[in-house]
Amino acid sequence: MSELLRQLDEVLENRKQESAEDSYVASLYHKGLDKILKKIGEEATETVMAAKDCDNASDKSHLVYEVTDLWFHTLVLLHQQGLTSQDILQELERRFGLSGHVEKANRSE
């Protein structure tokens, strides 16, 4: 899976050099932070709605679709800010095995 994320990081970084007319991601970069944040907000809302809709359903594919959109647009944000998926994986690794209560308490110190 990390190979897929590495490839996606590479594509997202390369899109910074492309024309806004040639690439959806390039158009997001061109429109700037506010447009990317708005898109993440839309995708987060759609994810919440999909989760509510499939709460008791056997087919969870719509939720997977919406979470994928949310993750993707979050990755666009990371790249716009000079970060990559590796930064997130490193933070998740740091937190792995750490109680959520302890991790949260550590943030306030």
pLDDT band at 2 (very low <50, low <70, confident <90, very high): confident
pLDDT band at 97 (very low <50, low <70, confident <90, very high): confident
Parent domain of 12:
2-107
Predicted confidence at residue 92, as pLDDT, reads: 92
Tokens found for residue 31: 């429109």
Predicted confidence at residue 98, as pLDDT, reads: 77
Domain with 53 in it: what CATH number?
Answer: 1.10.287.1080
State the number of CA atoms in the 13 A half-sphere of 82 facing the CB: 0
pLDDT reading at 67 higher than 70: yes
Model confidence, pTM: 0.87
Which segment of 78-82, 85-89, 93-97 scores lowest on mean pLDDT? 93-97
Domains contained in the chain, number: 1
